[in-house]
Amino acid sequence: MRTQGPAARPHALIDLYVPARLGTPEALQALAVAAGLDAIVLVAEDAFELPNADSVAAVNSNGGPRVLVAPMIAGPGFRFVLFLPSSEVNLESIEAAGDPRVVQAAVAELGGLALAASPRQGPGGEVSRAVPLLDAGKQGIVALAMAGSRLGRDLDLEDAAVAERPILGASGPFATLAEVGRYATLLPIDVRNGDLVTVSARILSALQKGLGFAVEIEPRHTDKRTPERPDPREGRNDDGDAKGGNRRRHRRKSKPS
């Protein structure tokens, strides 16, 4: 008699950082469907970018990929997506600290998680060479993300490897609308069953345990990828001067025959 094997464990592909400024929850959920994602996190980089709670609730009632919302706090050498167990949190007091260690400690005390996302890269393409230490947690680092600086991404990957933390994937803070869903994070959780509070708690718990790894998703469209923004320090020496100085190449003139 043939016995049935164990049931497959639930898992979910989640884009942990979709800039909320890129579109409405409905439009971004449609991109998640096209990419084969199970959930996306709309990250509000400013308070006015927070989607309307009613629109988020409505889009989550249609049976499609779950849409969650999270705020972001950034500074020189750090960028955190805040996964919080409750929305009733005074973010201004946390952000006012300006110290990444204080931010991490404050969020952890609330039972949440400050997830590092492309921490070395600034909004203008600059790369932070000196970064503050992360806390003693196990959570990964969102190091695989679209656009940004190649040098910044390489340093983020190196930081995650040195700290022995998982490398996570997401669209990231520099993604365009056409790039949403290229990178995601696979987590061993179920996001299809349960209300949004339960799903959020599962994601938070999995990230706190140090679970997850980055996944690259093949694009479903034929559009060309947006060129990566060059690092302003690439091709320069430690003093910030262009390599090779100001030497100019002269084409050698051919002798008349």
Residue 186 to residue 177: CA distance in whole angstroms: 21
- Whether residue 144 lies inside any domain: the answer is yes
In a domain, 244, yes or no: no
DSSP letter string over 242-253? BTTTT----PPP
Assess if residue 68 is contained within a domain: yes
Ramachandran sector of residue 195 (left: φ over 0; alpha: ψ -120 to 50; beta: rest):
beta
Please report whether residue 120 resides in a domain.
yes
Query: Does a structural domain hold residue 145?
Result: yes
54 inside domain: yes
Task: Check which CATH number belongs to the domain holding 67 and give it.
Answer: 3.20.20.140
Q: What is the DSSP string of 104-135?
A: HHHHHHTT-EEEEBSTTB-TTS-B-SS-PPP-
CA distance 20 to 144: 19
Rg (Cα) of the chain, in Å, rounded? 21
pLDDT at 143: 95
| Domain enclosing residue 128, as ranges | 12-175+193-216
> Is 17 domain-assigned?
yes
Number of domains in the chain: 1
Q: Please report whether residue 127 resides in a domain.
A: yes
Taking the chain (257 residues) in runs of 10, the rounded mean pLDDT of each run is 58 97 96 96 88 92 95 88 81 73 87 93 84 77 93 92 93 94 96 94 96 88 51 47 39 46
